[in-house]
Amino acid sequence: MIGKWHGLIIDCPDPSSLASFYEELLGMVRVQDDGDWVVIGDAPDRPGVAFQRVEGFRAPTWPTQDAPQQMHFDVKVDDLDAGEEAVLKIGARRLDGGGESFRVFADPIGHPFCLVIT
Protein backbone atom coordinates (compact mmCIF):
# COMPACT_ATOMS: atom_id res chain seq x y z
CA MET A 1 0.00 0.00 0.00
CA ILE A 2 1.33 3.41 -0.95
CA GLY A 3 -1.01 5.45 1.21
CA LYS A 4 -4.47 5.75 2.70
CA TRP A 5 -7.51 7.45 1.26
CA HIS A 6 -7.80 10.94 2.73
CA GLY A 7 -10.67 12.51 0.83
CA LEU A 8 -12.55 13.34 -2.34
CA ILE A 9 -12.55 16.96 -3.52
CA ILE A 10 -15.45 18.36 -5.54
CA ASP A 11 -15.22 21.65 -7.47
CA CYS A 12 -18.22 23.95 -7.09
CA PRO A 13 -19.26 27.62 -7.08
CA ASP A 14 -20.58 27.61 -3.45
CA PRO A 15 -18.87 25.11 -1.10
CA SER A 16 -21.15 25.71 1.89
CA SER A 17 -24.36 25.18 -0.05
CA LEU A 18 -23.20 22.02 -1.81
CA ALA A 19 -21.74 20.63 1.43
CA SER A 20 -25.17 21.05 3.05
CA PHE A 21 -26.76 18.97 0.29
CA TYR A 22 -24.22 16.14 0.73
CA GLU A 23 -24.43 16.29 4.54
CA GLU A 24 -28.10 15.43 4.18
CA LEU A 25 -27.57 12.87 1.39
CA LEU A 26 -24.69 10.98 3.04
CA GLY A 27 -25.45 11.49 6.75
CA MET A 28 -22.14 13.24 7.37
CA VAL A 29 -21.30 16.31 9.43
CA ARG A 30 -19.28 19.43 8.67
CA VAL A 31 -15.77 18.98 10.06
CA GLN A 32 -14.08 22.02 8.50
CA ASP A 33 -15.39 25.26 7.02
CA ASP A 34 -13.00 27.89 5.71
CA GLY A 35 -15.43 29.56 3.32
CA ASP A 36 -13.84 28.53 0.02
CA TRP A 37 -13.05 25.03 1.41
CA VAL A 38 -15.62 22.94 3.30
CA VAL A 39 -15.13 19.33 4.44
CA ILE A 40 -17.78 16.86 5.60
CA GLY A 41 -17.16 13.44 7.11
CA ASP A 42 -17.79 11.06 9.99
CA ALA A 43 -15.18 12.75 12.21
CA PRO A 44 -12.38 15.31 11.77
CA ASP A 45 -9.66 12.63 11.76
CA ARG A 46 -11.31 10.35 9.16
CA PRO A 47 -11.46 10.64 5.35
CA GLY A 48 -14.08 13.03 4.09
CA VAL A 49 -15.52 14.88 1.15
CA ALA A 50 -14.23 18.40 0.50
CA PHE A 51 -15.87 21.11 -1.56
CA GLN A 52 -13.65 23.81 -3.07
CA ARG A 53 -14.75 27.07 -4.67
CA VAL A 54 -13.92 27.29 -8.38
CA GLU A 55 -14.65 30.51 -10.22
CA GLY A 56 -16.27 29.89 -13.60
CA PHE A 57 -17.39 26.38 -12.59
CA ARG A 58 -19.08 24.53 -15.44
CA ALA A 59 -21.51 21.79 -14.42
CA PRO A 60 -21.21 18.39 -16.10
CA THR A 61 -23.90 17.38 -18.59
CA TRP A 62 -25.67 14.03 -18.49
CA PRO A 63 -25.93 11.81 -20.42
CA THR A 64 -23.99 13.75 -23.05
CA GLN A 65 -20.33 14.44 -22.44
CA ASP A 66 -20.35 18.06 -23.66
CA ALA A 67 -19.09 18.96 -20.18
CA PRO A 68 -17.95 15.57 -18.84
CA GLN A 69 -18.51 14.36 -15.31
CA GLN A 70 -15.31 13.95 -13.34
CA MET A 71 -16.74 11.82 -10.55
CA HIS A 72 -20.01 10.60 -9.12
CA PHE A 73 -21.25 9.02 -5.91
CA ASP A 74 -23.13 5.74 -5.74
CA VAL A 75 -25.34 5.94 -2.64
CA LYS A 76 -26.82 2.67 -1.37
CA VAL A 77 -30.47 2.83 -0.30
CA ASP A 78 -32.96 0.20 0.89
CA ASP A 79 -35.78 1.47 -1.34
CA LEU A 80 -35.33 3.39 -4.61
CA ASP A 81 -38.73 5.09 -4.48
CA ALA A 82 -38.23 6.34 -0.91
CA GLY A 83 -34.67 7.38 -1.73
CA GLU A 84 -35.81 9.29 -4.79
CA GLU A 85 -38.47 11.13 -2.82
CA ALA A 86 -35.91 12.08 -0.16
CA VAL A 87 -33.22 13.37 -2.55
CA LEU A 88 -35.73 15.39 -4.56
CA LYS A 89 -36.83 17.10 -1.32
CA ILE A 90 -33.28 18.26 -0.58
CA GLY A 91 -32.68 19.72 -4.04
CA ALA A 92 -31.65 16.89 -6.37
CA ARG A 93 -33.20 16.43 -9.79
CA ARG A 94 -33.76 13.20 -11.72
CA LEU A 95 -31.62 12.58 -14.82
CA ASP A 96 -32.09 10.22 -17.73
CA GLY A 97 -30.72 6.73 -17.30
CA GLY A 98 -30.89 4.12 -14.63
CA GLY A 99 -32.44 0.71 -14.40
CA GLU A 100 -34.01 -1.73 -11.97
CA SER A 101 -31.18 -1.43 -9.45
CA PHE A 102 -30.18 2.24 -9.76
CA ARG A 103 -31.42 5.74 -10.61
CA VAL A 104 -29.42 8.75 -11.75
CA PHE A 105 -29.78 12.23 -10.25
CA ALA A 106 -27.95 15.55 -10.21
CA ASP A 107 -27.00 17.46 -7.09
CA PRO A 108 -28.10 21.12 -6.90
CA ILE A 109 -25.25 22.29 -9.17
CA GLY A 110 -25.33 19.43 -11.67
CA HIS A 111 -22.90 16.73 -10.48
CA PRO A 112 -24.47 13.33 -11.24
CA PHE A 113 -24.93 10.73 -8.52
CA CYS A 114 -26.76 7.42 -8.34
CA LEU A 115 -29.03 5.79 -5.81
CA VAL A 116 -28.39 2.05 -5.90
CA ILE A 117 -29.84 -1.06 -4.32
CA THR A 118 -27.91 -4.30 -4.05
Give the whole-angstrom CA distance, residue 83 versus residue 116.
Answer: 9
In a domain, 66, yes or no: no
Model confidence pLDDT, tens digit, residues 75-112:
999 999 999 999 999 999 999 989 899 999 999 999 99
Lateral strand order in the sheet of 29-33:
7-12, 48-53, 37-41, 29-33
Same domain, 76 and 118: yes
Rounded to two decimals, the pTM is 0.82
- The residues that bridge with 75 in the sheet, in sequence order, are 115
In a domain, 32, yes or no: yes
Query: In the chain, how many domains are there?
Result: 2
CATH code of residue 48: 3.10.180.10
Q: Any residues with CB less than 8 A from the CB of 37 and at least 6 apart, and which?
A: 15, 50, 51, 52, 53
Determine the structural domain holding residue 34 and report its residue range: 7-55
